[in-house]
Structures are given as C-alpha cells and as structure tokens.
Amino acid sequence: MTTSLMSRVSPTITNMIRMDHTHVVAAFHQYQVDTPPRVKKGLADNICLALEVHAQLEEEIFYPALRELAPDETLDKAKPEHNEMRTLIARLRALQPQDPGFDQTVFDLMRVVLHHVADEETQLLPKAERLLGDQLSEMGARMTRRRLQLVGPRSGEIAGSMARSMSSGTLLAAAGALAAAGGLLLARKTQNPATRGQWFNPKRWGH
C-alpha cells in the first residue's frame, strides 16, 4: 500500500489513542489482588510496555501538533504526567509480584493513568478533532509506522508477557463472567425498582 493511500484509509490518530486507552484500562481491570502472581507479572509487564510506547508516540506525534495550535494547560501537564507514569513503571519493574508494594504500585499507576486518560479524552482529543480534522488520518498513519519501529525490537518481550498474562485467561474470563452475573443478581435484589437494571443497560454502555 502506498504511503498516501495508507494515510487516507488510516484510522484517525485520535481514535487510535482511544483504542490504546481502552486496551490498557482493560488490562488494569483484569488485575485483581487475588490474581495469581505469574499472571499479575504478565499483566503488569503488558501495561508498562503499552504505556511506554503510547506515551512516546503521543510525545513525538500528537502533542507537538497540538502545541502549534494554542497554549493549553492540559497539554502542559501531559508530559509531566507521562514522567510520573515512567517513575511508577521503573518502581514496578524493580519489584516481584509477591512483594508487599507490588499491588499498590499497580494501583498507583492505574490512578495516574485514569486521571491522565480522562484529561486527554475530554479535552485534548476533542480539541484535536475540532482543529486538526483533515490531518488526523495522516497523523494516524504516521503513528502506526512509528509504532512498528518502536515495538519491533521488543517483540520477544511482548510475546513473553502476553503468554504469562493469558496463562489463566480462560479461567479468569470464566470467573469474571460468574462474578458479573452474581453482581447483577445481587443488584437486582437490592436496587430500588425505579432504578433496577439501569447500571447494566446495554444502550448506556454502547452495546
């Protein structure tokens, strides 16, 4: 595929950023205190690597384009927040999943990420879509090319952490489904009839 064709058909950079956020938040949701240590390590490794690549891509391609538009306080905070994540990632890599601080470091990282993702998704992405509309697909294509360069040398690392995080994946999925079903039954029993079922309204969750 030629570069120009790839640019026209590429997903926009803003939708790619949303997709990365969705994947990393889903990995955080799989991480629970009673998850087996081997799976915890696999999930943490996946999360750390995904965040490192994502942050670098944003810093190289997305933030500079926004910076050219107008001063923006949220944008000014974005790189320091990435650095805060990098500090927590380094701390996490120095720990084993059985160590007392491991869970808390994962949850500290999750808190920083959720806050940062909220700022990006409610302020920076809409701003980019208002002001950079026709450049967003071309920027998406650039992000894909750069992602391949960054991820290529780390493919062994990625395969290893994926295998660990998925070693109990089927069991985890089954346990998750059971817990969700149990939660739904409990909610039905305890909720006010007027609001019953609203928390799992498929329309509300976009299904």
Which residues make up the interface to Fe ion (CB under 5 A)?
Answer: 58, 120
Q: How far is the CB of 22 from Fe ion (least distance, A)?
A: 11
- Cβ closer to Fe ion: 63 or 102? 63
Q: How far is the CB of 83 from Fe ion (least distance, A)?
A: 11
- Cβ closer to Fe ion: 45 or 120? 120
Nearest to 92 by CA among 45, 136, 130, 35: 45
- Cβ closer to Fe ion: 120 or 138? 120
Q: How far is the CB of 62 from Fe ion (least distance, A)?
A: 8
- Cβ closer to Fe ion: 27 or 172? 27
Q: How far is the CB of 131 from Fe ion (least distance, A)?
A: 18
